[in-house]
Structure 1
Amino acid sequence: MAATAALLLVLVATGCTDTPKPPDKRSPAPDVHIAAVGDMNPEQNTDPDSPSGRNGAAITRLVQNNEIDAFMGLGDFQYSTAHCEDYVHYWTPLWGGTKPKLYWVSAPNHDWEPGRNEDLAKYMNGQCEGDAQKAAINRERGFIPNGQPYSKDFGNWHFAFLSSALWRYEKADAAAATDWLDKDLGAAKAAGKNLAVVYHEPYFTSDTAEHGRAGDQKPWIDLMWKYRVRLTLSGSQHNYERTCPVNDADKCVDDGMTAFQVSTGGIDTRPFTSKPKYIAKRFSDTRGFLRLTLHDDGSFDWNFVSTTGSSTDSGTRAAP
């Protein structure tokens, strides 16, 4: 027994045991830098000093200087009922420089209405005569039909992109997109990703004279809450809003989603006609775009960059 104990001491002292090592920790993913805005260019506008022109130029500089990893196009790119020639003649001169980092969703009416204007998908894939440049997501995936959902990882963040136009025009496809979202978010959550969703018509929003909440999208909101999505990005209202972290019952909760509604790309703004309790910040007197810095641990910083007007918004949300 004494000899055995002595031998064990020798093995420990010389490091010759098979003691398990702790597992290596994953190295943090780098920060992700994003710009986002929707409702961009008025009909037949090519004025570089217009609100739209200023925003397009500012985001283009961020793309050219490699200051952002992605530009999230939140829908309604070119008013009013845009076809190939409209995107090429009006959107490209002011916003075409954002395409190398553009991830987009098709919005109702102004971007896509089946049988009326269906060219956004072609334009983003470089298939419109006069502009062969592809958006970033199209360079990666090829042609993406209007309304088709997709997802993309940026660092440790997983983004799902949804076209809210499905609820207007293709109800069966909206149901299929709901099933897709359930599987997509579930898999990303299981993989340890921080979750975000991009879509055009907001659910968490103040009313305007033109629009209220897009209530038919509640099945998507329920899934976002189920998987504890950290943030959402939308447009449509022609103003700016940010919510408290909110759940699917309109309550401010610590683990809710922060919903940004950023439709200040260049279209005339609209005043608010109601104020839900979950709205933490809003304004309708300023055009500009949102910048986000997303950290590996699920925390993020935001800053609204004013380009026409003086209102702004900035802050930080801590990690869960």
Structure 2
Amino acid sequence: MAAASILLLALVATGCTDTPKPPDKRSPAPDVHIAAVGDMNPEQNTDPDSPSGRNGAAITRLVQDNAIDAFMGLGDFQYSTAHCADYVHYWTPLWGGTKPKLYWVSAPNHDWEPGRNEDLAKYMNGQCEGDAQKAAINRERGFVPNGQPYSKDFGNWHFAFLSSALWRYDKGDAAAATDWLDKDLGAAKAAGKTLAVVYHEPYFTSDTEEHGRAGDQKPWIDLMWKYRVRLTLSASQHNYERTCPVNNADKCVDDGMTAFQVSTGGIDTRPFTSRPKYIAKRFSDTRGFLRLTLHDDGSFDWTFVPTTGASTDSGTRAAP
């Protein structure tokens, strides 16, 4: 027997041969491209050259060009107290082209207040006379009631959508949503997903003369920290903010969540009246929207796209 054959037999007998490693069972998911903004259209506005009109047109082009996978509507779609006719006559002409990619949350009280204005859910489901088009989430799931939480996977990213209005209107419903969030994020984390949360009123924010921190939402923030949510999207303040990676105790930490507050959709902006240490970037002189590219490994890139004004923000967060 040849010497090489004898050596091979010896290696096999002693278990010293290299065993090929099984291939990775999961191929990397493709990048996910998102646009996001809240606080969109002033009362009775249909001007395409207004800040709202410019934003609506820019995001509509991204939808039509298939350049984004989702438009995250962060609440306060149509001011001031919107009903079906207001959405159809004012929001649709400027923003209706975004509905094929639209995933939305309802906000208090411009979008939804029980007994006062409850038509946003109907509008998004194509039930308002004059606009039968459904938002993306409604095409997928049918009618989504105002305030009902839901979640959606985009590539390897898992997004939970929450209505902060629950904390104003029904603490019992807010507690139920908290239980839902615990189970939803826990299951997604166990499945290996990177986590993100969308809600309207921000917890991590500078004060303005109108609003401060939405402190009632701390139970949600605690769960976001528990499961190491990677990023959050909110609105409401009529300006733009980005935090450091922050934990539930307002500390900048490597594994914290990057909180974007993007309420620059077209409403008049507000100046800041405080400066929390966790705020890394902010401005209140520009309208525009946020673009995100989410990568399979949990890293992401962001760019604020100005449409009225010149301030911007961009960067990359590395994989965990």
- TM-score grouping bracket, smaller chain normalisation: over 0.9
3-state secondary structure, aligned to 1:93: helix
Residue 131 (structure 1) aligns with:
131
- Cα gap change, 1:132 to 1:16, in 2 (>3 Å): farther
Deviation at 1:7, TM superposition (A): 11
Gaps of 5+ in 2: none
Deviation at 1:17, TM superposition (A): 10
Distance in 1 (CA, whole Å) between partners of 2:50 and 2:8 is: 80
Residue by residue over 1:30-56, the C-alpha shift from the partner in whole angstroms, topping out at 9 and shown as x without a partner, is: 000000000000000000000000000
Q: Which stretch shows the higher mean deviation, 18-27 or 69-78?
A: 18-27
Identity %: 94
Distance in 2 (CA, whole Å) between partners of 1:197 and 1:215 is: 16
Residue by residue over 1:2-46, the C-alpha shift from the partner in whole angstroms, topping out at 9 and shown as x without a partner, is: 999969819959999996742434211000000000000000000
Residue 208 (structure 1) aligns with:
208
- Cα gap change, 1:10 to 1:32, in 2 (>3 Å): same
Distance in 2 (CA, whole Å) between partners of 1:295 and 1:106 is: 27
Residue by residue over 1:139-184, the C-alpha shift from the partner in whole angstroms, topping out at 9 and shown as x without a partner, is: 0000000000000000000000000000000111100000000000
Residue 9 (structure 2) aligns with:
9
- Cα gap change, 1:112 to 1:14, in 2 (>3 Å): same
Distance in 1 (CA, whole Å) between partners of 2:7 and 2:279 is: 70
3-state secondary structure, aligned to 1:8: helix
- TM-score, normalised to structure 1, is 0.95
Distance in 1 (CA, whole Å) between partners of 2:201 and 2:296 is: 28
Q: How does 1:196-235 map to 2 (within 5 A)?
A: 196-235=196-235
Residue by residue over 1:265-318, the C-alpha shift from the partner in whole angstroms, topping out at 9 and shown as x without a partner, is: 000000000000000000000000000000000000000000000000000000
Distance in 2 (CA, whole Å) between partners of 1:306 and 1:14 is: 67
Distance in 2 (CA, whole Å) between partners of 1:18 and 1:206 is: 58
Distance in 2 (CA, whole Å) between partners of 1:84 and 1:281 is: 37
Distance in 2 (CA, whole Å) between partners of 1:2 and 1:30 is: 51
3-state secondary structure, aligned to 2:216: helix
- Cα gap change, 1:48 to 1:18, in 2 (>3 Å): same
- Cα gap change, 1:20 to 1:305, in 2 (>3 Å): closer
Distance in 2 (CA, whole Å) between partners of 1:90 and 1:14 is: 78
Residue by residue over 1:107-140, the C-alpha shift from the partner in whole angstroms, topping out at 9 and shown as x without a partner, is: 0000000000000000000000000000000000
3-state secondary structure, aligned to 1:97: helix
Deviation at 1:262, TM superposition (A): 0.1
- TM-score, normalised to structure 2, is 0.95
Q: How does 1:1-320 map to 2 (within 5 A)?
A: 9=9, 21-320=21-320
Count of matched residue positions in the alignment of Structure 1 and Structure 2: 320
- Cα gap change, 1:110 to 1:9, in 2 (>3 Å): same
Distance in 1 (CA, whole Å) between partners of 2:295 and 2:17 is: 40
3-state secondary structure, aligned to 1:307: strand
Q: What's the RMSD between the two structures over aligned residues?
A: 2.7
Distance in 2 (CA, whole Å) between partners of 1:169 and 1:187 is: 28
- Cα gap change, 1:10 to 1:253, in 2 (>3 Å): closer
Q: Which stretch shows the higher mean deviation, 273-282 or 11-20?
A: 11-20
Residue by residue over 1:51-84, the C-alpha shift from the partner in whole angstroms, topping out at 9 and shown as x without a partner, is: 0000000000000000000000000000000000
Gaps of 5+ in 1: none
- Cα gap change, 1:4 to 1:279, in 2 (>3 Å): closer
Residue by residue over 1:242-269, the C-alpha shift from the partner in whole angstroms, topping out at 9 and shown as x without a partner, is: 0000000000000000000000000000
- Cα gap change, 1:18 to 1:301, in 2 (>3 Å): closer
Distance in 1 (CA, whole Å) between partners of 2:23 and 2:13 is: 23
Distance in 1 (CA, whole Å) between partners of 2:213 and 2:114 is: 23
3-state secondary structure, aligned to 2:259: strand
- Cα gap change, 1:8 to 1:140, in 2 (>3 Å): same
3-state secondary structure, aligned to 2:153: strand
Deviation at 1:211, TM superposition (A): 0.2
- Cα gap change, 1:53 to 1:4, in 2 (>3 Å): closer
